[in-house]
Every structure is written in structure tokens, then in C-alpha cells.
Amino acid sequence: MENKTIHRRGVLVPGLKPLRESMGLTRAQVASRCSLDVSTIFRIEEQHFGAGYQTLKALISGLETTEEALTCPNL
């Protein structure tokens, strides 16, 4: 995907917070669904760092979404 932005250890995931909110989920619920730590969800949403390959895969699987929905939400 050409529009991904690489940022400190991974790909920025600007679609995570809007998707989470549209699903009515808390960060803790997303973390649980994706087998990730709540602090990881927070840091990705606040763009303190990007998601690595394994984290991105966990988000896609846990939220039953696509890579494009997470990395390029406005397309």
C-alpha cells in the first residue's frame, strides 16, 4: 500500500481510533480482542509509535477489519 506512513517502529494506524469508537469499544476491549496490551493501543492511537507487522495482523484479526481500513481510513 503506497499511502502508509512509517513512524518509529512501524506503520501509523490512523483508522484505529475511529474504528474502535464506531464499534463502541474501549481500548481495553480492543486490547483483549487483539491479545495486545492497553498501553500499546493507546500509543498507536496517539501516534506515539506505529504498529509493527505482528501488531497490525493482531489488530486486523481481532477487529475483523482490513489493513486499508486501519492504515488509510479516508480512501
Rounded Cα gap, residues 61 and 45, in angstroms: 17
Q: What is the CA radius of gyration of the chain?
A: 11
> What share of the chain in percent tops pLDDT 90?
79
DSSP label at residue 74: T
Percent of the chain having pLDDT more than 70?
Answer: 89
The predicted structure's pLDDT at residue 1? 42
Question: What is the reported pTM?
Answer: 0.86
pLDDT digits (tens, 9 = 90+) for 28-63: 999 999 999 999 999 999 999 999 999 999 999 999
For the chain, domain boundaries: 16-66
CATH of domain 16-66: 1.10.260.40
Give the per-residue pLDDT at 16.
97
pLDDT at 8: 59
